[in-house]
Amino acid sequence: MTASWDRNSDTYTTGYRLFYGTAAGSYQWSVDVGNQISKPLNLAAGRYYFVVRAYNASFQYGPASTEVTFTVGSTSSPTANITATRQSATTALVTWQTTNATSATINGTAVALNGSATMTVSATTSTTFTLVARNAAGTTATDTATVPVSTSTTAPLRPVNVRASVSGTQVTVTWQRNPSGGAPTSYILYIGRTMWGSEVINGRSLGNVLSATLTLSTGSYYVRLRARNALGNSASSDPVLFRIGSQLSSPTDLTANWSGTQTTLTWVASSADSPETAPTDYVIEAGTAPGLADVAAVKVGEETTFSTDVPYGVYYVRVRAMNDHGDSNPTEELVVAAPGSAQAPEALTTSGEGTTVNLSWSPPAAGGEAPVGYLIEAGSDPGLSDIATIQVGNVTSFTTQAPPGTYFVRVRAINSRGPGLPSNEIIVQK
């Protein structure tokens, strides 16, 4: 665009300076144009405001001209669209889009032209979000989204009567709402190769339905679900085992023998009455908690023995058979604790009101190296420590604050060989 103006008729003017900006009466930029009466400018899209001031030979400026406004770029009308979904008692997921806009605000706060963010909402009244999109010419478009008050006053309890029905490579999972607790608004699906695993499907939101059908490859799987509403998630349902493909017989009689820090695992081979049911591999699964394989999943071929060095630690180990047609259930789980590992603390209990959690326990029974500290583990399901792992000193009580939720808690003693066996597990509900 080009700014131009009439030449002054007085004898004092020797030049002009053009001032311009994006707000009336406020000019971020200026340019000296000498004794010219026009100036081409290359500007980004938007609305601009201009004045000109003349100056004399001493560079003394006269008064500003009348302000002129001009819009550069597209003047197409903007559009605005916004949605908001409650996530918890005090938060909502807000998503918005605009077109033909140069700026946008939500409830008066500047935001990107398109985006998604978690925003604060009221727990007791509805909350409205107003999106205003503005184009270069100053034309606006408005849209609103209202988050109603949650109809539930409590979080839901875990789903019940979970079932898995297999047909070919498809599994249909069904469940029922827990009649106690708050009303769910959706369910969350987890599928793993171990009891509490989620490496196949990790937290898929299913909406407010009571069944889901999936296609999976050959193998054994565990499925579990959580219920969700605006006030929180439930604990997981009990894991349910199902198989895609034929089932092999399980190995049996898993044992562990020690020689120094080396352990040798042995088991009895699976029985088979045809090539389709004969194992071609055994897989050793080891985890830090029951049902997990977060430490190792080792294929050992057709061998029925395996030796490894275990300098410290406590592990939960099982073996399953495999071939191209499927796999077996695992053996009964074996606890493998390296020699000298700390024994389990005893009598873990909890107390406390509101958000306060008081934990107390007794030291391990006499025998072995004395503890130098304790490790507190809290998880969203039995055996897990995905919520918190807190190391404390050589004490037998601990107090903390916890937000609303369900927690599975246990304590381990620590000695020079690291954390030992877990205490009894308790459920803390807030």
CA gap 138, 183 in Å, rounded: 46
352 pLDDT exceeds 90?
no
> In the prediction, which pLDDT does 3 show?
94
Domain boundary among the residues 218, 244, 270 is at 244
Whole-number Å distance between alpha carbons of 142 and 159: 41
pLDDT digits (tens, 9 = 90+) for 92-150: 889 999 988 889 999 999 999 999 999 998 877 889 999 999 988 788 999 999 988 76
Mean pLDDT of 143-166: 85
Give the residue with greater pLDDT, 110 vs 275: 110
Mean pLDDT of the 175-194 span: 89
Confidence at residue 306, expressed as pLDDT on a 0 to 100 scale: 94
Strands 109-111 vs 281-287: parallel, antiparallel or unpaired? unpaired
Say which residue the tokens 């406004």 belong to: 69
Most confidently modeled range among 113-117, 181-185, 384-388, 413-417: 113-117
pLDDT of residue 150: 65
pLDDT bucket at 367, cuts 50 / 70 / 90: low
- pLDDT tens for each residue of 80-91: 999 998 777 788
Distance, CA of 242 to chain centre: 27
Same domain, 274 and 236: no
State yes or no: pLDDT of 161 exceeds 90.
Answer: yes
CATH code assigned at 107: 2.60.40
153 within some domain: no
Mean pLDDT value of segment 55-64: 93
Share of the chain above pLDDT 70, in %: 97
Examine the domain organization and report whether 329 and 380 are in the same domain: no
Shared domain check, 413 and 367 = yes
Q: Which residue has the tokens 């609103």?
A: 144
Q: Are strands 109-111 and 326-327 parallel, antiparallel or unpaired?
A: unpaired
* Residue 152 domain flag: no
Contact by Cβ (8 Å): 327, 282:
no
Give the structural domain span for 13.
2-72
Q: Is residue 421 part of a domain?
A: yes
Q: Which residues pair with 49 in a beta bridge?
A: 21, 69
Mean pLDDT, all residues of the chain? 88
Q: Tokens in use for 213?
A: 């059908």
| CA geometry: angle 253, 254, 259, nearest 5 deg | 125
CA distance 97 to 40: 35
323: pLDDT strictly greater than 90: no
Sequence-separated contacts (24+) of 188-192 with Cβ below 8 Å: 188/225, 188/226, 188/227, 188/228, 188/233, 189/223, 189/225, 190/223, 190/224, 190/225, 190/226, 190/236, 191/216, 191/221, 191/222, 191/223, 192/221, 192/222
